[in-house]
Amino acid sequence: MADPIEIIEGLRDVQDGIGEFVRNGPSTGLPGYVRDKYRERCNQFANLPAWARALGNGSAGTMDRICSPYWDDNGWDGPESDTPDVIGGQCPGVLYSFRAQGLDRGNVVVTQDPSCATGRRGPIGIRSELTAGGAGVQWFSTWFTAAGLPAESSIISGNAANITATITNVVRCDGQLDDCGNSPVEGPRVGPNPPPDPGPIGGPVPTDNPENPTGPPLIPLPPYQDPIYGPTPIVGPTGPTGPPGGGGGNDPVGGPGSPGGGGDTGVGGENEGSADEGEELVGVLVQILTAPLDANRFFNNSALIYRGACYVTMGYPGRLGLDMSGGTLESPQFFHAQQRGLTDYRVRANVGFNLRVTPYYRTLEA
């Protein structure tokens, strides 16, 4: 089995090489044309068109690594991650205390501190709206009443000329882990000094690879304008066309398998297991039971997605390979075995995490 660390390092080397080519590649001939088209893509990406917003985190990171040397040379900025208005406070129906602060219409700072006795139920957020007295900023807390109707509360009448507000010190009143994420954000935003926007450029737009959505983006280039023979398509290398490699069974499709006996890792612990004779490992389902308050998360997505929650390895007895997709975890999440015929797994929780692990096995066809 290939060493996943070497694969990742190889991909990074390729991305670094492309980044250097985009920054300082030849300016003439076909190499110059390709370099300039990459630069157009980088300029377009930095201004966040629809295709750039649609890229996954892994692919967006690849684009950033490829383009950053070129941007830095010119003093430009790439996209920036947006930040949520409220850190925490998103568990529906849960009572929170917090501090809300803003300006009234006389430019006087107004502060409200709802305690647990007078607090509001999640999700907590900030909203600007036009009220009877003019533009204003309100904190809001929406939940459902016993009759099933939405209910909402608000304070702070904002200054129409400066409609800003902040919410801090959000505390869950029942003392449980506040693990429902932060207030939603729309995604990345354009940096303070982006390169000139070239607008739409010819050819297909970069996209996630549907077979590898967390890997490098597919960046097709427009046809090369040959001065004699006209447009010549630039075609990249294609992947293998046959069935995936790997042993174990003659069933070309297989199935989803059935859950086996897994268990909980415990905080910072691990869970491991092996298929029975005549079975193969389909993959493992990982669910977060508890997470530390300071866990590293992606904040440009309304879902609760953790970075580095666990290490997932699968393979054969004594020969387990690290699944790099375990660096990102949205609970619950299924990690598929890298190939047919694998039998063993081990999931190690990172510090502060307690995970429930359920392996899935299927019978090998004779």
Does the reported pTM lie above 0.75?
no
List Cα–Cα distances, 344 to 142, 272, 273, 315, in angstroms: 46, 8, 6, 5
User: What is the DSSP secondary structure assignment for residue 250, as one 8-state letter?
Assistant: S
Do residues 113 and 119 touch, judged by C-beta distance below 8 A?
A: no
Do residues 161 and 133 touch, judged by C-beta distance below 8 A?
A: no
Look up residue 26 and give its amino acid: P
Q: pLDDT tens digits for 253-303?
A: 566 788 888 889 999 899 999 998 888 999 999 988 888 877 777 666 656
Numbered ranges of CATH 2.60.120 in the chain: 258-363
Around Cβ 148, how many Cβ atoms within 10 Å?
A: 6
Cα 189–Cα 195–Cα 201 angle in degrees, nearest 5: 90
Peptide bond into 223 cis (omega under 30): no
Helix (H, G, I), strand (E, B) or coil at 91: coil
Look up residue 11 and give its amino acid: L
Cα 269 to Cα 277: distance, rounded to the nearest angstrom:
27
Regions of the chain where pLDDT drops below 50: 1-2, 4-5, 7-8, 227, 229, 234-251
pLDDT value of residue 361: 92
Cα 345–Cα 347–Cα 350 angle in degrees, nearest 5: 165
Do residues 298 and 291 touch, judged by C-beta distance below 8 A?
A: no
User: What is the DSSP secondary structure assignment for residue 106, as one 8-state letter?
Assistant: T
Domain 258-363, CATH class in plain words? mainly beta
Q: pLDDT tens digits for 216-259?
A: 677 776 555 554 545 555 444 343 333 333 444 444 556 678 88
- Going by C-alpha positions, the residue among 130, 139, 152, 128 that lies closest to residue 100 is 139
Strand partners, 167: 100
Cα 116 to Cα 101: distance, rounded to the nearest angstrom:
17
pLDDT value of residue 237: 39
- Match 């207030």 to its residue by tokens: 183
62: its two tokens: 């690849």
Strand partners, 328: 307
Do residues 70 and 42 touch, judged by C-beta distance below 8 A?
A: yes
Beta strands at 134-144 and 124-131: parallel, antiparallel or unpaired: antiparallel
pLDDT value of residue 205: 79
Q: Where are the alpha helices (DSSP H) in the chain?
A: 4-24, 29-46, 50-54, 57-74
End-to-end Cα separation, the chain, in angstroms: 24
Cα 243 to Cα 253: distance, rounded to the nearest angstrom:
10
